[in-house]
Chain A
Amino acid sequence: MDINIDDILAELDRDTTAVDSTGHTQQGNQSSLSTSDIPANNTTIIDVSPQQDFKQLMVHWRNERCSPELLSYPAPLVERMLSRIQSQMETIENISMGFLESMSQGPSDDNGDKLTSHHNDSKLPLLCMEAELERVKFILRSYIRCRLQKVDKFSLYLRQFDPIQLDDLLSAKEKLYQSRHSEILLKLLNGSVLKFMPEELQAIDDTEGSVNMIEEPDWNKFVFIMVCGPPDKLFSEDPLLSKNEYGKYCYNVTIAELKEDVELTLDSIYVMRYQVVRELIMSGKVQLI
Chain B
Amino acid sequence: MGYYDIDDILADSVEIPCKFQHDIPGLGYLENNPGKPVKKNAKLELPLWLARILAIIDGDTNEGELNQDEESVPFVELLTPDMFSPKVINAIKADPTSLDLHAINSYFYALALKWISLFSDREFADIVTTLLLERSQAINNHASSVSVEFKSSLDSVRGTQVTAGASNAAASMFLLTLDEFEKKVYKKSHESYKETKKWMFEK
**Interface residues of A, Cβ cutoff 8 Å to B:** 210-215
In the complex, what residues of A have CB within 8 A of residue B2's CB? 215
Cβ A210 vs Cβ B52 within 8 A = yes
Cβ B52 vs Cβ A215 within 8 A = no
Cβ B49 vs Cβ A210 within 8 A = yes
Q: How far is the CA of A212 from the CA of B52 in the complex (A)?
A: 15
10 A-B residue pairs with Cβ-Cβ distance under 8 Å, sorted by A, are A210-B49, A210-B52, A210-B53, A211-B3, A212-B3, A213-B3, A214-B3, A215-B2, A215-B3, A215-B4
* Further contacts, 8 of them, CB under 8 A, given A214-B3, A215-B2: A210-B49, A210-B52, A210-B53, A211-B3, A212-B3, A213-B3, A215-B3, A215-B4
In the complex, what residues of A have CB within 8 A of residue B3's CB? 211-215
Q: How far is the CA of A19 from the CA of B2 in the complex (A)?
A: 57
Q: How far is the CA of A212 from the CA of B3 in the complex (A)?
A: 6
B 1-17 contacts with A by CB, 8 A:
2-4
Q: How far is the CA of A210 from the CA of B4 in the complex (A)?
A: 13
**Interface residues of B, Cβ cutoff 8 Å to A:** 2-4, 49, 52-53
Which of chain B's residues has its CB closest to A211's CB? B3
Which of chain A's residues has its CB closest to B53's CB? A210
In the complex, what residues of B have CB within 8 A of residue A212's CB? 3
Which of chain B's residues has its CB closest to A216's CB? B2
In the complex, what residues of B have CB within 8 A of residue A211's CB? 3
In the complex, what residues of B have CB within 8 A of residue A210's CB? 49, 52-53
In the complex, what residues of B have CB within 8 A of residue A213's CB? 3
Which of chain A's residues has its CB closest to B5's CB? A215
In the complex, what residues of A have CB within 8 A of residue B52's CB? 210
Q: How far is the CA of A192 from the CA of B114 in the complex (A)?
A: 31
Q: How far is the CA of A239 from the CA of B52 in the complex (A)?
A: 48
> Separation in Å of the B129 CB from the closest CB of chain A?
14
Q: How far is the CA of A35 from the CA of B177 in the complex (A)?
A: 55
> Separation in Å of the A200 CB from the closest CB of chain B?
16
Q: How far is the CA of A212 from the CA of B8 in the complex (A)?
A: 13
Q: How far is the CA of A287 from the CA of B14 in the complex (A)?
A: 42
Which of chain A's residues has its CB closest to B1's CB? A211
